[in-house]
Homo-oligomer: A and B are copies of this chain.
Amino acid sequence: MPRGRPRKCDPEVVLRKAMTLFWENGFDATSMNDVAVATGMAKPGLYECFGDKNALYAKALKLYFKEYGEPGLQCIRASNQPVSTALRQYLENVAAGAGDPECPSGCFIVNSIIGSAQSDSEIKDLIRDIINQRLDVLIEYLSVAKEKGELTAETDPEALALYFAGQEAAIAVLAREGAEPEKLGKFIDIAMKTLPQVSAEELAAGQG
């Protein structure tokens, strides 16, 4: 046991709770007092643990990306499944997160993009970094799929990556509107029709 009075609250638990508050209500509508009441950690403790409100928000956003964003990207990166399967799973994972009844609806990152106009520059940079990471993973994955012959020669990996990034945003907004999971499923069915896939026979012929 360390020297002084023991902590009442686990900072990790506090940060997770702060994340859900910012996710649900946004930066402005979540006061430090709200966080203090919801977490049980008094305001001076919050400032000591996390810095000021901007720093707390940035840490919450990083935690969100680590928990809800990176795993999906990692699945894409490591996927050895057909491109349509991998990308469908990717969007279904997004829909599962955005529509999870245990969490605020929608996507904290999308919410932050919308509200970023008056964010401080550290937060803007963080958002930009997250957006670019996601786009780069999608571009890389689609480029490889094209090289492997799974996607037609006319495929534009960058444009298609932006399309899928847009589908994530769409799912987040629709979930925030209250769209049921079943409707999000149908949405994904339609969104996946855009893939310029090479058929299995063509692929076999091309590789043989």
A interface residue numbers (CB < 8 A to B): 24-26, 28-29, 104, 106, 110-111, 113-118, 131, 156, 159-160, 162-163, 165-167, 169-174, 176-177, 179, 183, 186-187, 189-191, 193-194
Interface contact A173-B115, CB-CB below 8 Å = no
Q: Nearest chain B CB to A32's CB is how many angstroms away?
A: 15
Interface contact B117-A114, CB-CB below 8 Å = no
Copies of this chain? 2
Interface contact A163-B191, CB-CB below 8 Å = yes
Interface contact B176-A162, CB-CB below 8 Å = no
Interface contact B131-A117, CB-CB below 8 Å = no
Closest to A192 in B: B194
Q: Nearest chain B CB to A26's CB is how many angstroms away?
A: 6
State whether A190 and B113 are in contact (beta carbons under 8 Å apart), knowing that A131-B177, A174-B165 are contacts in the complex. no
Out of B115, B173, B183, name the residue touching A113 (CB < 8 Å).
B173
State whether A183 and B170 are in contact (beta carbons under 8 Å apart), knowing that A29-B28, A114-B114, A117-B104 are contacts in the complex. no
State whether A173 and B166 are in contact (beta carbons under 8 Å apart), knowing that A28-B26, A28-B29, A114-B111 are contacts in the complex. yes
Most buried by B among A29, A159, A173, A174: A173
Interface contact A187-B169, CB-CB below 8 Å = no
In Å, the complex CA distance between A7 and B189 comes to 56
Out of B28, B111, B190, name the residue touching A163 (CB < 8 Å).
B190
